Structures are given as structure tokens and as C-alpha cells.
């Protein structure tokens, strides 16, 4: 959000001054309670959530319809949108989808739609594909209600149906007297359902040669008779039409963990395994569990190469290469960087690692070697002297590229002598404070302190900007939740994108309605441009929600009333104007500092009285 800066000079009694404010944020409604999607006829939305971009720039959402509309029932649904005014229904409870395990022309099955989300990981996943799960319901006695995995073309190839069934999570495939899950499903017949299997929601796409898309599905399996179980990974192809009648070669298992009792399968020595995604070279990335703990492997089963593992060599200093003198004792959490360009891992250095012994750290592996991004007890930049990083919060990281990572941790020292929560940004050369619990932010002008960060709202853009939500307390004691964007710098620059209490208009079949934001549940940058945020919010009316597109709009001017009151200058401006008042003794670029006097609200205006001390002052609003 850029600002126009108009400097004003206060010399003696002043009349009316005009200063420029920070840009206000624009709100565009993608879908909200009481709206009717374009092709849903009379069905109105009860709740909507998600708001996830697919790789083609589409917005995917899920939620429920309201009961009570003519012909409508209270049912789940999922929607897709290309932007404001283009939302349409994809699927809803009761829709029928071809079941491709059956012969061509065979029965279809009805789907029961839970919360559908697109699930895919990979470096260059195809834009028109997405994978999803739902419950399936049929009248066939051999197919009870269960979950299933599907692949969908949002704009399918000519002649192919848009939705393809991949597999059912309760299938037990047997061949004669052999009653366990076979490595290959070719020729398998579904004869009984004695297993308790589960399909995980994360699906990986790979297009190795520009032809058919390969789809990797993670799952688990427990044999009802023997109790054997563990992790399994299946591979499926997207070109199902030629083999739909027999399913031959469409789905097969490629790996299983040790508990499956299938030692001939690659990976049989591991306690669990799953496909994480695909790296830039098109190789699969696996998270596996072994006797020493979790690790990351790269490649196809049987030709794995270790990427991250306990005991590996790690950097001793920032910007350094791995050395045998500083090994890693274990890995805790692992996260794939967007598009698979790198792997971020929480690690613990070994007791033999010198100054880093027993310290927690963030390592970034970009496919060549691991790089040290942050470690506990290091000095944090952008803070008062002596502020040190205390810990790295598990599961609160966002990695837009391999150059930096935003995460929530805790720090001690500096402005707060006790340990406090902090938003930080780490690179290979430093870790920097972006915001800290109990500290004030410069906008809005009367913020007293940050009460807490609202996880998991944390989304970073490749240029370093970070969107985050925080509950803040104002000088008058009231609290609000604010969605900020911070641009790192000296100093950091903060922008308000959305605030609890903000209102917007929702167009419904019954006419326009005003909706009020209560809290932010998710915020994700638009892929490619990173110029706007897709934001999922709860509204103030219980049980209502919306998915919004929030971005900057043109700068607006702020009318500033300035007058002398005794020996002080009284400045007044609109209460909701975003930005801060700055003062300087000259027009030199480096002379501007924030006005430290807190403002008060009088008749809907912010007001501050500043001592003049007989000296000319320059003021600006930015």
C-alpha cells in the first residue's frame, strides 16, 4: 500500500491544512452469507470458508447452503470463482459422479460433500487439475458409505468428463487366498471391506514427460483380520478414459511402511512414509520415519537419496557450508516451501556441535545443501540491544521462497525484559523482528499494544512483505483484530488491510445488506502478482461468514484542522484515517519522526495537542 506524502508547514496561527493519508484498502466480495452463486438458482449461502487459490488463479471455497429456500435443503457445497461476480457451484451433496471402478456405462454414485479443499503439492502442478475427497453413497451393497479420492479438470480436455474417480479408502483388494493389499492393483477385484483404510488429504501431481499427469495419494491401511497396518502411497494416472472399464494400470501401490508386512516393497524398513511433493527437477520428495527419527528422501522408491536426516552435517555459522563438526541430532517439523523449491526444517543440533550444541534452528535446504536461517539465543536485528531469539514455534511458518522465511517465535530482552511472542523474518544472514507482543505499531495512531498474534494467519510474498493478523488494544482500552501487511526495512512499514468492525455491502436476492467483519481466519497472497489478499472472515452475526478479496486502492486526502490553543497546536483529522502523524524541524529527508503524543477521539475526530515551544515545526501524515 503506497502513500502520497504532502508536507505542510505550521508557522503561527493556521487555517486548514491538507495532508495525504495512507491508501485505504478496497474490499471485494467473492462469496458471503445470503448470496446466491450464479448457477445455484434459489439456493442461498449459509456459511463459506477456505478461499484457496489454485495454480490457475481460481478461487476455491466450501461451505453450506441455507435451509428454507424454495426446494433447498441444508447441504454442503463447494464453489469456484475467477473473481468478484463469477462464483459458481462445483458440487453439492447428492450430486452424482461416475464411479470408474465399474464397467463403462455402469452405475454412478452420489457424493456427500464435506469441506472440500484443493490438495496438491508439486513444483509445477497443472493449472486445470485439482484433487479432492468426499464421502460416497451408493445403493450397491458391496460399496458402503466411505471416503473417496477424485481428480477434477476445471476445464477438462475435449471428450473427457470433468470428474474422475481415483480410489475408495475402504477398498480391500484380494487375489485368491491372498488377503492383503497387493503392490499392484492390476486385475484386482473388490470383494470385501474388512479393512480400515484412510486417504490423507494431501495429493501430489507430477507431469514427468509432458503427457499424462501422475497423481500420488498418501494413505494408511489396517487389515481387519491380522491387525497389520501402516502407511501406503498409491500412484494414479489422469488419463482414465481408455482404461475405465478394467482399471488396469490406473492405480497401483508404490510404497508401504514396515507394518504392512510387505518387505518386498521399497520403504519397508520405515515406520511411516508419505509423499511431500515434487522438487524443481521433477523428483518426488518423501517424509519418512525410521529408528533415528524423521527424515526427507528424494527420488522414486528404490532409488532414494537422503536430503535431510538425523546425524547429517549442518552449517556452523550463517552463510557457511555444512561441516561434520556440527551435526543435527533430530528433525522435528518439516515443511515444503511453495512450489517445492526448498524444504524448511526445525532441527536440534547435536551435543557435539560446539556453540550450537542443543540449540534449535531453522534449516533451509534448496536441493544442494542445508542453510542456517535462524537459531535460538541469537541476537535479533531491528530491536533494542540484547534482544535474543528464545524459541521457534512449531507449525507457525510461512516460506514463500528459499531466500527468507516468516515465522512466529519468542524473544527476550530489549523493550520487554520478559519472553514475548514475536513475528520474525529469517534469511541466511540475519533474523529480523517484524512485530512484537506488547509493543505498539504506528498505525492506527492510537494503538497501545499488540495483545497477541492471530495464528495461523501468516502469509509472505516473495518480495518480503508479510500479511499477519493481531489482536490489538487501543489507548481507550478497546480491542480489535487487525489484518496487517508489514514491509521489512529501517524502519519496518505497516499497512492496515482489514479491521474487525469494518463493513462492506453484500448483494443478495433480497437486496443489498451491510456485513461487519468480526475476525480473520485466513489470508493468502494472490499467486503470481502478490498484489492482493484472499481473506476468509467470520462476520458479527453468529453463523455468518465471507470470502473477500482485499487490496489497495488510490490514496485519499485527509482534512487536518490546525489551530493554536494557548501555547499548543491542536491538530484534528478523521478517526478512521490510516497512517501516522510525523513532525520535523526541517524538510531534510532524515528529520521526520513520529509524533509521540497520543491522540484522543473527540466527536469522531482524532485530536492531539502539541507544544510549540516557539519553534517552527513541519508536519506530515504518512
Q: Are residues 52 and 172 in the same domain?
A: no
Say what the pLDDT of residue 232 is.
79
Q: Are residues 89 and 177 in the same domain?
A: no
Say what the pLDDT of residue 125 is.
55
Say what the pLDDT of residue 97 is.
63
Say what the pLDDT of residue 153 is.
67
Q: Are residues 114 and 32 in the same domain?
A: no
β strands within 264-312, DSSP E:
272-278, 284-290, 293-298, 305-308
- State the Cα–Cα distance between residues 217 and 238, nearest whole angstrom: 13
Residue 49, helix vs strand vs coil: strand
Helix (H) / strand (E) containing 222 = strand 214-222
Number of domains in the chain: 3
- What number is the average pLDDT over the span 349-372? 93
Say what the pLDDT of residue 282 is.
83
- State the Cα–Cα distance between residues 257 and 266, nearest whole angstrom: 9
Residue 575's pLDDT band, with cuts at 50, 70 and 90, is low
Q: Measure CA of the first residue to CA of the last residue in the chain; give whole Å.
A: 11
Q: Average pLDDT of the chain? A: 75
Q: Are residues 231 and 104 in the same domain?
A: yes
Q: Are residues 222 and 79 in the same domain?
A: no
Taking only the tens place, the pLDDT of each residue in 100-115 is 443 344 445 566 665 4
> In degrees, to the nearest 5, what angle opens at C-alpha 98 toward C-alphas 97 and 102?
145
Residue of 263, 251, 260, 257 lying closest to 275 (CA atoms): 257
Q: Are residues 585 and 542 in the same domain?
A: no
Say what the pLDDT of residue 179 is.
32
- Which residue has better confidence, 286 or 265? 286
Q: Are residues 72 and 208 in the same domain?
A: no
- Which residue has better confidence, 133 or 243? 133
Q: Of 240, 261, 278, which one is at a domain's C-terminal end?
A: 278
Taking only the tens place, the pLDDT of each residue in 47-93 is 998 877 876 678 888 888 887 655 555 678 888 888 888 888 877 77
- What number is the average pLDDT over the span 518-526? 92
Q: Considering the domain boundaries, does residue 480 fall inside one?
A: no
Residue 617: give the domain boundaries.
8-24+555-621
Predicted TM-score (pTM) of the model is 0.77
Contact partners, residue 21, CB within 8 Å, separation at least 6? 3, 555, 556, 557, 558, 577, 578, 579, 621
Burial of 372 (0-12, 13-18, 19+ CB in 10 A): buried
Q: Are residues 54 and 147 in the same domain?
A: no
The string of DSSP codes covering 72-115 is --S-EEEEEESSTT--EEEEETT-EEE-TTSPTT--EEEEE--S
Q: Considering the domain boundaries, does residue 449 fall inside one?
A: no
Q: Considering the domain boundaries, does residue 149 fall inside one?
A: yes
C-alpha cell at 236: 494414479
C-alpha cell at 344: 524448511
**Contact between residue 586 and residue 554 where contact means Cβ atoms under 8 Å apart:** no
Q: Of 278, 303, 332, which one is at a domain's C-terminal end?
A: 278
- What number is the average pLDDT over the span 549-559? 64
Q: Of 244, 278, 312, which one is at a domain's C-terminal end?
A: 278
Residue 448 clears pLDDT 60, i.e. is over it: yes
Contact partners, residue 243, CB within 8 Å, separation at least 6? 249, 250
Contact partners, residue 609, CB within 8 Å, separation at least 6? 565, 568, 569, 570, 597
Sheet strand arrangement including 25-32: 25-32, 545-552, 533-539, 511-525, 503-508
Say what the pLDDT of residue 438 is.
92
**Contact between residue 322 and residue 365 where contact means Cβ atoms under 8 Å apart:** no
Percent of the chain that is helix, strand, coil (3-state, to 5):
0, 55, 45
Q: Are residues 564 and 542 in the same domain?
A: no
Amino acid at each position: 500500500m503506497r502513500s502520497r506524502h504532502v508536507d505542510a508547514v505550521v508557522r503561527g496561527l493556521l487555517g486548514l491544512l491538507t495532508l495525504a493519508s495512507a491508501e485505504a484498502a478496497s474490499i471485494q466480495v467473492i462469496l458471503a452469507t445470503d448470496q446466491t452463486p450464479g448457477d445455484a438458482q434459489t439456493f442461498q449461502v449459509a456459511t463459506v470458508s477456505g478461499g484457496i487459490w489454485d495454480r490457475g488463479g481460481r478461487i476455491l471455497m466450501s461451505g453450506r447452503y441455507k435451509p428454507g429456500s424454495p426446494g433447498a435443503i441444508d447441504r454442503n457445497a463447494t464453489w469456484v470463482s475467477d473473481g468478484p461476480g463469477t462464483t459458481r457451484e462445483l458440487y453439492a451433496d447428492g450430486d452424482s459422479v461416475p464411479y470408474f471402478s465399474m464397467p463403462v456405462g455402469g452405475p454412478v454414485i452420489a457424493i456427500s460433500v464435506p469441506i472440500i479443499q484443493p490438495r496438491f503439492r508439486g513444483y509445477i502442478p497443472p493449472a486445470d487439475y485439482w484433487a479432492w475427497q468426499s464421502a460416497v453413497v451408493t445403493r450397491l451393497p458391496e460399496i458402503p458409505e466411505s471416503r473417496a479420492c477424485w481428480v477434477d479438470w476445471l476445464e477438462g480436455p475435449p471428450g473427457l468428463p470433468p470428474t474422475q474417480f481415483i480410489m475408495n479408502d475402504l477398498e480391500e483388494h484380494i487375489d485368491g487366498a491372498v488377503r492383503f493389499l497387493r503392490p499392484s492393483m492390476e486385475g484386482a477385484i473388490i470383494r470385501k471391506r474388512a479393512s480400515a483404510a484412510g486417504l490423507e488429504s494431501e495429493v501430489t501431481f507430477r507431469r514427468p514427460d509432458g503427457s499424462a499427469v501422475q497423481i500420488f495419494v498418501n494413505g494408511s491401511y489396517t487389515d481387519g483380520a491380522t491387525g497389520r497396518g501402516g502407511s501406503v502411497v498409491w500412484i494414479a494416472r489422469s488419463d482414465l478414459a481408455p482404461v475405465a472399464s478394467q482399471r488396469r494400470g490406473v492405480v497401483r501401490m508404490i510404497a508401504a511402511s514396515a507394518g504392512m508386512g510387505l518387505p518386498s516393497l521399497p520403504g519397508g524398513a520405515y515406520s511411516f512414509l508419505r509423499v511431500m511433493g515434487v522438487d524443481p527437477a521433477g523428483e518426488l520428495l518423501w517424509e519418512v520415519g525410521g529408528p533415528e527419527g524423521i527424515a526427507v528422501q528424494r527420488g522414486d522408491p528404490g532409488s532414494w537419496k537422503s536430503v535431510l536426516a538425523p546425524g547429517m552435517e549442518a552449517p556452523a555459522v550463517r552463510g557457511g557450508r555444512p561441516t561434520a563438526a556440527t551435526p543435527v541430532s533430530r528433525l522435528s517439523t518439516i515443511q515444503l516451501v511453495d512450489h517445492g523449491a526448498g524444504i524448511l526444517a526445525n532441527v536440534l543440533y547435536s551435543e557435539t556441535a560446539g556453540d550450537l550444541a542443543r540449540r534449535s534452528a531453522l534449516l533451509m535446504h534448496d536441493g544442494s545443501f542445508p542453510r542456517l536461517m535462524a537459531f535460538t539465543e541469537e541476537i535479533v536485528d531491528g530491536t533494542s540491544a540484547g534482544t535474543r531469539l528464545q524459541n521457534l514455534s512449531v507449525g507457525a511458518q510461512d516460506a514463500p521462497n528459499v531466500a527468507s522465511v516468516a515465522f512466529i517465535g519468542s524473544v527476550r530482552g530489549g523493550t520487554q525484559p520478559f519472553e514475548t511472542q514475536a513475528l520474525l523474518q529469517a534469511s541466511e544472514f540475519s533474523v529480523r523482528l517484524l512485530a512484537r507482543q506488547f509493543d505498539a505499531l504506528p498505525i492506527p495512531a492510537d494503538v497501545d499494544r499488540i495483545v497477541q498474534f492471530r495464528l495461523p494467519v501468516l502469509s509472505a510474498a516473495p518480495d518480503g512483505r508479510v500479511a499477519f493478523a493481531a489482536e490489538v488494544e487501543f489507548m481507550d482500552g478497546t480491542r480489535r483484530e487487525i489484518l496487517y501487511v508489514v514491509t521489512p526495512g529501517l524502519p519496518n512499514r505497516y499497512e492496515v488491510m482489514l479491521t474487525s468492525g469494518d463493513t462492506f455491502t453484500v448483494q443478495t436476492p433480497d437486496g443489498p445488506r451491510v456485513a461487519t467483519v468480526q475476525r480473520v481466519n485466513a489470508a493468502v497472497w494472490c499467486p503470481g502478482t502478490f498484489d492482493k489478499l484472499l481473506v476468509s472472515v467470520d462476520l458479527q452475526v453468529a453463523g455468518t461468514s465471507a470470502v473477500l478479496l482485499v487490496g489497495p486502492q488510490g490514496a485519499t486526502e485527509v482534512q487536518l484542522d490546525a489551530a493554536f490553543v494557548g501555547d499548543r497546536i491542536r491538530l484534528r483529522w478523521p478517526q478512521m484515517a490510516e497512517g501516522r502523524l510525523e513532525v520535523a524541524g526541517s524538510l531534510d529527508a532524515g528529520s521526520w519522526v513520529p509524533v509521540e503524543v497520543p491522540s484522543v477521539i473527540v466527536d469522531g475526530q482524532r485530536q492531539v495537542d502539541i507544544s510549540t515551544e516557539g519553534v517552527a515545526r513541519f508536519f506530515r501524515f504518512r
